[in-house]
Amino acid sequence: MADEKIRTEWKSEKPVPDEDFLKKEFEAEVATLSSALAKGREHSQRLHGSREHLIKASGLNDGQIKKLADDAKSEAKKAMDVVERELAKPAVDIEALHQQDLALVKQNAEQAGTSGNPSWSGLITTPDNGGSWSSVNGEAEEAPSSAWSTVTEKIDPRSQAYGEGWFDGDHSTIHAYLTFTFRPPSWGSLRVYAAPRFHGYYQLYSNDEWYNSEYARAELDSWIQLHQSFWRPRGYARRFTMGGDELHPTRYGRIDTIYGHNYYTSVGATDQVTIRVGARLHSYARAGGSLSRLNFQSGDANFINIPYVYWSLHHS
């Protein structure tokens, strides 16, 4: 049976402003997720109950059904491992394209800051902090993880979940981010723009056979959150999602792209603005044999790069 208790982890290189508020946000997120998992489990148990007469009619006992589920999980893992080797690297050299794009961004930022421009703008190219927070209710191998580097401007999150038994659901969720700071020269309406480069892959498998309730799902979001005096709401953008009970043969593919992300708010003059730019990975798998994985971590070719934050300010 899956471990129903959700385990959490909070990591940061150094404290961010009003960190207690952010931790309370995290607690609320975990509570919502815990409720959703409980409801999903209840639904699966009802579904299993409706199929119980079919199981009895087949002549299979509980031990035989468990073996079928365990065998399905083992075979699904083997298939995922084979596919994972194929997904390790992108088909083209993405780094050269990134360098060209970054050079153009810097050029445009310099032009925007020339005299005569009625607004203010700037480009922040050096993050000063990083961190992550995560939750998981499965086995140790499913624990999500991420490191970060303010030197390479990279985070490398990974999440994966393996379903258990007939209807047990495991989840693995992680947020990873880099922090950028600046002091606005004036009050006004602020636009923040970031363009994270995502390089990684997804794998999902489910086969909803008559004796269990397999389901797999993966979700990928980018997000921005800003602080000046208080934390503004986190702004999410869904970048990838896939889920279903008949994801077989294995669904898999690479994610090699740039996702532009805007955030708008109002700020006062001179007080420091803290901007967190991050990604959320969520993997969920229900019943033995179902698998879900998002990986921006394994090998040098898989990471999320956040090379800059561009801001522009004007009077409302």
CA dist 92 to 97, 98, 254, 301, Å? 10, 12, 12, 11
The verdict on residue 109 lying in a domain is yes
Which range among 95-99, 113-117, 205-209 shows the weakest confidence by mean pLDDT? 113-117
Assign 46 a pLDDT band (cuts: 50, 70, 90): low
Supply the pTM of this predicted model.
0.82
The verdict on residue 285 lying in a domain is yes
Please report the pLDDT score of residue 232 as a whole number. Answer: 93
For residues 20 and 230, the answer to whether their CB atoms sit within 8 Å is no
* DSSP codes joined into one string, 108-120: HHHHHTSTT-SSE
Write the pLDDT tens digit of every residue in 143-194: 999 999 999 999 999 999 998 777 678 899 999 999 999 999 999 999 999 9
The verdict on residue 2 lying in a domain is no
For residues 183 and 190, the answer to whether their CB atoms sit within 8 Å is no
Q: What is the mean pLDDT of the chain?
A: 84
The verdict on residue 1 lying in a domain is no
The b/e string for 23-59 (b: 16+ C-beta within 10 A; e otherwise) is eeebeebbeebbeebeebbeebeeebeeeeeebeeee
Number of folded domains that form the chain:
1
Please report the pLDDT score of residue 1 as a whole number. Answer: 43
Maximum alpha-carbon separation in the chain: 83
Please report the pLDDT score of residue 65 as a whole number. Answer: 67
Q: Which of 214, 201, 198, 210 is nearest to 284 (CA)?
A: 214
The verdict on residue 271 lying in a domain is yes
**CB hemisphere CA count around 42 (13 angstroms):** 6
The verdict on residue 12 lying in a domain is yes
Give me the domain span that covers residue 189.
7-314
* Three-state secondary-structure class, residue 273: strand
Cα–Cα distance, 266 to 291 (Å, whole number): 43
pLDDT at residue 84 is higher than 90: no
Burial class (CB in 10 A: 0-12, 13-18, 19+), 84: middle
CA dist 172 to 19, 23, 136, 235, Å? 23, 18, 5, 21
| Residue with the larger pLDDT of the pair 102 and 260 | 260
Burial class (CB in 10 A: 0-12, 13-18, 19+), 130: buried
36: which residues sit within 8 A by CB, 6+ positions away? none
